[in-house]
Amino acid sequence: MVRALLKKYGIRGGYHDQHFLVDEQILDRIVEAAHLDGEETVLEIGAGIGNLTTLLADRAGKVIAIELDPVLVEVLNDRFKTVENVQVIKGDVLKVDFPTFDKVVANLPYSISSEITFKLFKHRFELGILMYQYEFAKRLVASSNSGDYSRLSVNTRYFADASIIMTVPPSAFSPPPEVRSAVVELVPRPAPFDVVDEDFFLRFVTAVFSQRRKKLKNSILKTSHLLGVNDLKQIVEQLPESLVDKRPENLEPHELAEIANRIVSLKETV
């Protein structure tokens, strides 16, 4: 049925390099993972031709589907013109102001996965069921001392619990992409470690992971322009040697937060 929709609307595989999720079993599993009870408002990002939208509309109180491509927006408006609980928003997901929503369920545009994820972290919601490229998903859930551990891993740990709940083969899409995909469950919650200045902490993580192979003290000194802190050399000399002699990739998120907090307090005294 889902494959027939591509033909009905005259959309061929490879349209604007888009890969439409057409495997009905995986679509069902994604919706099941969202645990919808008919009351929630669900945000869908990159709704495409509405394969996932249809299933969400059957289970949710309301679905807000964001799509940028004008042809696909026309398809969505046609498919859901008589469906009262679906609202289609035409726009760039990175520029559109998100409405209030309870859960976000989406097959995200892979090219801007990071930007979308960080934008979502700025909003309050209960649950995210999000499909990413598999390599990106591994970085999202990675632990320290692993090759996939990154700025993305640390920031995710700060904002939410994340886990890969299923992998998705290329054959689930039309046309099949060249990469595997994975569905990640994101559960926002209060940070499990103290951060005295959130903006500085996020900038600090970005800065030091741009120099991830260097010892932390050298990463900090090399990125002073990103941190906006004067007399960093004097500050670094006062930081715990047991931590700053390690590489960023070998430090737990709470240890990185401890260093960021120390810098915030010390910069007022030098």
Per-residue model confidence as pLDDT tens digits over 73-129: 999 999 999 999 999 999 999 999 999 999 999 999 999 999 999 999 999 999 999
pTM: 0.92
Considering the domain architecture, whether residues 166 and 56 belong to the same structural domain is answered as: yes
What 3-state class would DSSP assign to 223?
A: coil
The Cα–Cα gap between 219 and 135 comes to 25
Strand partners, 67: 90
| CATH code of the domain in which 15 resides | 3.40.50.150
The Cα–Cα gap between 199 and 196 comes to 9
| CATH code of the domain in which 213 resides | 1.10.8
Considering the domain architecture, whether residues 19 and 75 belong to the same structural domain is answered as: yes
**pLDDT score of 21 more than 90:** yes
Considering the domain architecture, whether residues 106 and 234 belong to the same structural domain is answered as: no
One-letter amino acid of 141: V
Cβ neighbours of residue 194 closer than 8 Å, sequence gap 6 or more: 257, 261
| pLDDT tier, 8 (very low <50, low <70, confident <90, very high otherwise) | confident
Q: What is the pLDDT of residues 123-151, one digit of tens each?
A: 999 999 999 999 999 999 999 999 999 99
| pLDDT tier, 269 (very low <50, low <70, confident <90, very high otherwise) | confident
Range of the domain at 258: 198-266
**Residue-level pLDDT at 205:** 97
**Residue-level pLDDT at 210:** 93
Kindly state the average pLDDT of the residues 208-226. 91
Considering the domain architecture, whether residues 140 and 258 belong to the same structural domain is answered as: no
Q: What is the pLDDT of residues 163-198, one digit of tens each?
A: 999 999 999 998 899 999 999 999 999 999 999 999
Tokens of 165: 């709940």
Q: How many domains does the chain have?
A: 2
Specify if 161 maps to a domain: yes
**Residue-level pLDDT at 186:** 98
Q: Which of 167, 188, 209 is the last residue of a domain?
A: 188
Specify if 122 maps to a domain: yes
Specify if 193 maps to a domain: no
Specify if 110 maps to a domain: yes
**pLDDT score of 69 more than 80:** yes
Mean pLDDT score of the chain: 93
3-state secondary structure the chain: CHHHHHHHCCCCCCHHHCCEECCHHHHHHHHHHCCCCCCCEEEEECCCCCHHHHHHHHHCCEEEEEECCHHHHHHHHHHCCCCCCEEEEECCCCCCCCCCCCEEEEECCHHHHHHHHHHHHCCCCCEEEEEEEHHHHHHHHCCCCCCCCCHHHHHHHHHEEEEEEEEECHHHEECCCCCCEEEEEEEECCCCCCCCCHHHHHHHHHHHHCCCCCCHHHHHHHCHHHHCCCCHHHHHCCCCHHHHCCCHHHCCHHHHHHHHHHHHHHCCCC
**pLDDT score of 13 more than 80:** no
Considering the domain architecture, whether residues 207 and 241 belong to the same structural domain is answered as: yes
Considering the domain architecture, whether residues 30 and 131 belong to the same structural domain is answered as: yes
Considering the domain architecture, whether residues 17 and 131 belong to the same structural domain is answered as: yes
Higher pLDDT, 43 or 10: 43
| pLDDT tier, 17 (very low <50, low <70, confident <90, very high otherwise) | low
Task: Please say whether the beta carbons of 239 and 263 come within 8 A.
Answer: yes
**pLDDT score of 270 more than 70:** no
Considering the domain architecture, whether residues 105 and 205 belong to the same structural domain is answered as: no
Q: Which of 149, 169, 188 is the last residue of a domain?
A: 188
C-alpha Rg value of the chain to the nearest Å: 21
**Residue-level pLDDT at 208:** 96
Considering the domain architecture, whether residues 225 and 182 belong to the same structural domain is answered as: no
Task: Please say whether the beta carbons of 72 and 49 come within 8 A.
Answer: yes
Specify if 119 maps to a domain: yes
CB atoms < 10 A from the CB of 162, how many?
A: 21
CB atoms < 10 A from the CB of 159, how many?
A: 20
Considering the domain architecture, whether residues 113 and 229 belong to the same structural domain is answered as: no
Q: Which of 162, 188, 214 is the last residue of a domain?
A: 188
Specify if 107 maps to a domain: yes
